[in-house]
Structure 1
Amino acid sequence: MAGNVPPVADEREGLLRFLEQQRYVLKLAAHGLTDEQARYAPTKSSLSVGGLIKHVAFTEDGWIDTALQLPQKPFGEARQDYEEAYRLGPEETLQSVLERYDEVAARTAEVIGRIDDLGRPVPVPKGVPWYPDDVEAWSIRWVLLHLIEETARHAGHADIIREHVDGATAFPLMAAAENWPETPWMKPWKPTPHPA
């Protein structure tokens, strides 16, 4: 997939394609990283590229559960899961997190494909501090727009963190991942050899 979403036929395709594109650019930030590099948190925050991908997969899956009105965990358990989802644990690999993210993406596409009305209400779970008390329901459309926003925000975080890891930036990473030929204006990213 290139840096832009191709033309879309309708709203549903547009929402899903823009979400897919933001997932793609987030995953590009991990291109060529080792598990150790994917865990590295080089800024004042505890964010890492691998942790961000894990978090966004967790969050998207949770929003699809909410859209389906599946039972929610009690707040204490949900908060602990949320905090753990920001870290790529020592037993986890970048590859496993990327595979999980692909599974979540496939589930989202399948679920949204079965919903005939994007205006269908999604009741706001009650008793959760980060959800508004003054809103009764969102819509499926709103959930998709929120997922695009959430993914794009964290894709930007991942770009900054990746640049701290090894200097790589988005377009050279895309060029490397998509095997673009080297040109005077674009040199695909290449791993820096480690000193012996």
Structure 2
Amino acid sequence: MIDAHAKTYLHDDLREVRQAVVAKLDGLSEYDARRPLTPTGTNLLGLVKHLSTAEARYFGEVFGRPFPEPPPRWDDLSARGTDMWATEHETRAGIVDRYRRVWDHADATIDALAVDAPGHVPWWPRPDVVLFNVLVHVLTETNRHAGHADILRERLDGATALDGTAQQKDAAFWARRHAEVERAARAASGHPDRNSSRQR
């Protein structure tokens, strides 16, 4: 049986990982917060914007408690993917502030409802859910994107700690670590020669 303890546990974890995602923006230039860092355009501010949209939907309309600033409809194909990046007209502060307002709204929904309160997710194959399902889903998605944010931030400036600051390791330490991981990967693949994989 799912109880209130499970709801509290999941909710506390969600609160923590939200903060970790937003902290990845700390100290970055406007350009670095927004610029695409993968071939598909993944960027740090876009991750925050996307998570804001997701929580607004999942803890809003799914439980008949719509967020006052409604996101695009889930079935609006023209809006698909637009929550993954910020236009030049959207400010970083505005996106982060909206995410925090979404947190407040989501937290109120989570606090108000029992862990087995029914909801409806029309875009899921099995749309009838309870709060527990949605809490697990949103926590999983937020953690997934927090992992993306960890890697993007490390790529930008080497910051690897949860709070966005660089760990107390110098460049030489990380160069040695990188070389050791590279050596092990090549040895395991049967290609210890650095140039062998390029010749295949």
TM over 0.5: yes
**Highest Rg: 1 or 2?**
2
Instruction: Give the match for residue 73 of structure 2.
Output: 73
Separation in 2, partners of 1:93, 1:136: 34
- Mapped to 2, the partners of 1:159 and 1:35 lie a distance apart of 18
State the Cα deviation string for residues 71-114 of structure 1 (Å, max 9, x = none).
89372x2x333411001111112221111111111111111111
Matching residue within 91, 95, 119 for 1:97? 95
The counterpart of 2:156, out of the listed 165, 175, 181, is 165
For 1:174 and 1:166, how far apart are their aligned partners in 2?
9
Query: Identity across aligned pairs (percent)?
Result: 29
Partner of 1:42: 37
CA RMSD for the aligned pairs? 2.3
- Which contiguous aligned blocks of 4+ residues in structure 1 show a shift greater than 4 angstroms? none
**Is contact 1:28-1:170 (8 Å) kept?**
no
> Aligned to 1:148, which of 135, 139, 160?
139
Give the whole-Å Cα distance in 2 for the aligned partners of 1:61 and 1:19: 14
Distance 1:17 1:74 in 2: 27
Cα deviation, residue 45, structure 1: 2.1
**Is there any run of 5+ residues in structure 2 with no aligned partner, and where?**
67-71, 170-200
Map 1:97-136 → 2, pairs under 5 A: 97-115=95-113, 117-125=114-122, 128=123, 131-132=124-125, 135-136=126-127
CA shift, 1:56, in A, is: 0.5
**Amino acid in structure 1 at the alignment position of 2:119:** V
- Structure 1: unaligned runs, 5 residues or longer: 1-8, 176-184, 188-196
Q: Is the 8 A contact 1:42 1:48 kept in 2?
A: yes
Given that 1:55 and 1:86 are in contact with CA atoms closer than 8 Å, whether structure 2 keeps it comes out as: yes
Structure (1/2) with the larger helix percentage: 2
The one-letter code of the counterpart of 2:135 is: L
The structure-2 alpha-carbon separation of the partners of 1:136 and 1:161, relative to structure 1 and needing over 3 Å to count, comes to closer
CA contact (8 A) 2:17 2:146 kept: yes
1:17 correspondence with 2:12: yes
How many angstroms apart in 2 are the aligned matches of 1:156 and 1:164?
A: 13
TM-score by length of 1: 0.73
2:130 counterpart (116, 122, 139): 139
Inter-partner Cα distance in structure 1 for 2:120 and 2:50: 23
Q: TM-score, normalised by structure 2?
A: 0.72
Residues 1:43 and 1:74: Cα distance change in structure 2 (over 3 Å): closer
